[in-house]
Amino acid sequence: MSTTSTYRVTGMTCGHCVAAVTEELFGLPGVQGVDVDLASGRVEVVSAEPLDDDAVMVAVQEAGYEVMA
């Protein structure tokens, strides 16, 4: 079983940004998949267990971007 969580991330402008966010999110425990749509900023994260939204926010900030509330 898995959980899909969706976020909106601002500030990504190119494929490098997508890669940076993806890499950080894969560093979170239990994350199995990450899908980022650059145009909309929509980020879907598939995980074994429900994600800690604060941890997601911090990971996105580590990459240099922000999760919209």
Residues found near a copy of itself in the complex (CB under 8 A): 13-17, 19-20, 64
CB of 61 to a copy of itself, least distance (A): 15
CB-wise, 1 or 16, nearer to a copy of itself?
16
Report the alpha-carbon distance of residue 38 to residue 43 in Å, rounded. Answer: 9
Comparing CB distances to a copy of itself, the nearer of 21 and 51 is 21
Least distance from C-beta 27 to a copy of itself, angstroms? 18
In whole angstroms, give the CA distance from residue 15 to residue 31: 21
CB of 23 to a copy of itself, least distance (A): 12
Q: Which among 52, 1, 43, 4 is positioned nearest to 23, based on CA atoms?
A: 43
Query: Taking a C-beta distance cutoff of 8 angstroms, is the pair 9, 60 a contact?
Result: yes
